[in-house]
Amino acid sequence: MTDSEYVPGEREVRADFVLANTRNFDSYQVGRTLASEQKHYGDEFDRWLNQVKAEAAREALTQYASEFEGEGSEWIGPMGPTLIARDVRNFITEHYPEEQK
């Protein structure tokens, strides 16, 4: 594997995000511990990542649903788009509950 093929994992990116945001942290000046600050930025990264995943899932499922609308609507029937939209909502709610808050 060459350097250009390397893709960091989710844990590495999260750790770099936390480090970048807590590099010059002074717990004495701020009045909080470094661990609490790291947790804060870790949670912020997790919320952002969950939002990105939910948006990607929504986009993919919307594309999937629109493919059904175009070509096979006669076998889906008139309720097809409604049922697919319901399935998309259920999928997002089940797999990405954090975004529903």
Amino acid at the residue 3: D
Q: Which residue has the higher pLDDT, 51 or 87?
A: 51
Amino acid at the residue 66: S
pLDDT band per the 50, 70, 90 thresholds, residue 16: very high
Query: Given a cut of 60, is residue 52 above it in pLDDT?
Result: yes
Whole-structure pTM value: 0.60
d(CA 69, CA 81): 7
Res 83: pLDDT? 65
The ranges assigned to domains in the chain are 3-100
d(CA 6, CA 82): 42
**Residues with Cβ within 8 Å of residue 21, at least 6 apart in sequence:** 37, 41
Mean pLDDT calculated for residue range 3-25: 90
